[in-house]
Structure 1
């Protein structure tokens, strides 16, 4: 080891940070929560988490306020779940109740996307974009701002209840509750016009369900993000237990490279003078101090690890101070880790330090120092991607090719037919025309088949075979239709007929094949 590195090694402060969730300690089934006081981390992964947090929170809180002009007969909110009108608006897309399979398809795509991401880069969702992770990060920002970093918060927690401690705790929890209220408030704005609902909410004129929803989401955000934190990920979330089936030996996970770091030593200079072989880990516990889950990554992969990579930032910072190469803790695959361990073991000659193997260029033999595209182009990942992409393309095709005019027909059940005084037979139908665009238009409703039949619509004039009907924008127009067949032509009823709804301007058309009921012919 370089003398300068040895000298620097003595300046690294060892943090008194014991893992709360120790992988090497068998814990009871039920145990009282031990608080985790994560230290603020600095580095590339922490910066990336800041960006993800700003993006996700920005999308959540600001999306209901985005306006989108759909004309005079439709709401101008870009994203809106209109339960009263039974519509889902997403920018230029409008989903009707019978088209809910599009939403179901998106949910399935989200699940497959989670499988895809996990199989390639481990629990990246948990570490960066999961709502629990994002809100815990936000709550920790408030906690650090008011109470200080790790050591200050630990001293405050262990100290007596003074005026300073009381005021800091009140301020912290008050801001947490404000965040909870904002979270619940943002949620209800997705279900009604946001500006209108905000005015009615602050004047206490909003529906009771709005206040109840905000109260529930405020409580869950406050409890999950502020009080329970890592316990939600450890005990409540099923994904840590499911993810094992998504990972294989080529999935990226946060890994402590013990082939390089062991044996640890806080006194590298003395060990070198005594002729002992030591690794790069100086047992500073920086990786433990920054972990929001309270684990020691040096114990290996654990259920609690969300792969947020803050331990990588902490360790890289220590390596920089020591003048050593980064990557003692890194994103690695099991296959690369096994290869490095095998290389370190095979090179274990007396003249070579088996735990600090270097290649011919003098750099550490660490296969994960550079991104390996084989991690992405693997059978499992490609299979997940193919299914995910196929579903996405199918949904896009369905949206692009769907008609915005639909015809629903329901035959009267009682009576199924009426015999008039002249012997002709009349059938009644409830016809619904769905105009699925925010524009008024004229639809032609015509009958095809049964040439002798005549159609009647209450309040509409026509030639008995077709009618022009004005339909309201983005509405369902219900019509009572009667079809009458003369006595001498009742045989035509056996073939039935077709009702056709047609828009001559857009050339959209929908048809329904209907039956015509009559009395059984006399023998």
Structure 2
């Protein structure tokens, strides 16, 4: 059943913003220079990169995904500590798409009473046209939902053209089909069953909430004993107990999961606030104060019964801890992001032979060194080794250019290059059996330095 009010307007605003971002974000461009995709948000599986505006994530940086998941979980915990299942009521994709499907249904088939009458009516041309229009609209929304998803994995304008001309990869059509089907079924038919039976979050949040969290609450201290408006007015005139609830059941009819909030807080309630709007509208019509249903706590109901003022403790140890943890994890991720290197080096020591004694008395160790250029343009590097005595010589097989005895290696854009490096100790130097060393990679233009640890073996 449709309703209007503050919380309904909030839900509409969130719906338009979130769906607008989801559907149109792949078409936003972001200039990253030559040899780089210009889509603002892109998960490039072929190029093994993830792009989010100015942020570029490589496969070996999967820990950023871990950090995002931790922040998301803590944010969900914080939202629950403040206002219960507020995520479920306003931001959950199931809720957003179900609201959109319900809006389409109401525009085509009418309000709840009209839809019940249409269900019970015999099949006619008018009923058939309405059903076809509704399901066609649902399928179009579901199709665009699946289509928008695959646009995040390829250049959006190009993929749209390929999809329209049937030149896109088969995987794109497959995933569009899967997501179209799931969106159509979940938002069109299963709706509250997803929230009640399939989603694990209600069970989790029930264990996380506390008596200070704001939840959609029927203020029974004011509403009971409930009854028809005329009867309760007569009771009040006689000085007998009479509540403000007129037992119209509007709060129950507008609930997307079929909860009667007057029976207390229930696991099925998604805290969307639509029952608040419905009740406020009724209270306004009958000339009673609004707020019979609202975001409140059972503790405040008891305080009002005791003649005390209600208290609202949004800032308390639980919410402060969650907020601090979110800030801490976010700061760690930001520091790691700002201080990360755009080049890399790794060195693997030869296993056999571990070392070779030369005729002149020097000792040779061999390494397989891999250089990584994470930028989208060609770069040149100098390879140096620290930790060995003066006079140590470095030889890179296949490298013809050296600068002050250090190999000068060019690595292509967004590529790695593997080279064979031989390290010779000074002639006659007394070397321990194992010497810790450091391989240093220096960008000849930007001066960026990357290091890795290794060891030098001797008899």
TM-score when normalising by structure 1: 0.82
1:158–1:111 distance in 2 versus 1, CA, 3 Å = same
Mapping for residues 17-416 of structure 1, pairs under 5 Å: 39-266=1-228, 267-268=230-231, 269-272=233-236, 276-343=240-307, 367=310, 374-413=312-351, 416=354
Query: Is contact 1:376-1:382 (8 Å) kept?
Result: no
The alignment partner of 1:495 has SS state of strand
Deviations 1:254-307 (A, max 9, x none): 011111111112123444566543211111111111111111111111111001
Pairwise CA RMSD of aligned residues?
A: 2.3
Instruction: State the shift of 1:168 in Å.
Output: 1.5
Which one scores higher on RCO, CA 8 angstroms, separation ≥ 6?
1
Deviations 1:489-511 (A, max 9, x none): 58477425432101244332112
**Structure 1 partner of 2:396:** 456
Instruction: State the shift of 1:99 in Å.
Output: 1.6
Q: Distance in 1 between matches of 2:326 and 2:344?
A: 29
1:500–1:259 distance in 2 versus 1, CA, 3 Å = same
Q: Distance in 2 between matches of 1:416 and 1:73?
A: 41
Query: Is contact 2:145-2:183 (8 Å) kept?
Result: yes
**Structure 1 partner of 2:367:** 429
1:453–1:396 distance in 2 versus 1, CA, 3 Å = same
Q: Distance in 2 between matches of 1:428 and 1:215?
A: 54
Instruction: State the shift of 1:192 in Å.
Output: 1.2
Deviations 1:341-400 (A, max 9, x none): 334xxxxxxxxxxxxxxxxxxxxx873xxxx6x522111111111111111111111112
Instruction: State the shift of 1:177 in Å.
Output: 1.3
Q: Distance in 2 between matches of 1:413 and 1:159?
A: 82
Q: Distance in 2 between matches of 1:486 and 1:387?
A: 53
Q: Which runs of 5+ in 2 are unaligned?
A: none
Q: Distance in 2 between matches of 1:261 and 1:498?
A: 75
Query: Is contact 2:399-2:408 (8 Å) kept?
Result: no
Q: Distance in 2 between matches of 1:70 and 1:168?
A: 48
Q: Distance in 2 between matches of 1:446 and 1:297?
A: 71
The alignment partner of 1:516 has SS state of strand
1:439 to 365, 372, 377: 377
Q: Distance in 1 between matches of 2:71 and 2:264?
A: 32
Instruction: State the shift of 1:415 in Å.
Output: 5.5
Q: Distance in 1 between matches of 2:277 and 2:213?
A: 20
Q: Distance in 2 between matches of 1:126 and 1:68?
A: 32
Q: Distance in 2 between matches of 1:143 and 1:177?
A: 12
1:505–1:304 distance in 2 versus 1, CA, 3 Å = same
TM-score when normalising by structure 2: 0.92
Q: Distance in 1 between matches of 2:432 and 2:209?
A: 65
Query: Is contact 1:452-1:489 (8 Å) kept?
Result: no
Query: Is contact 2:303-2:309 (8 Å) kept?
Result: no
1:470–1:273 distance in 2 versus 1, CA, 3 Å = same
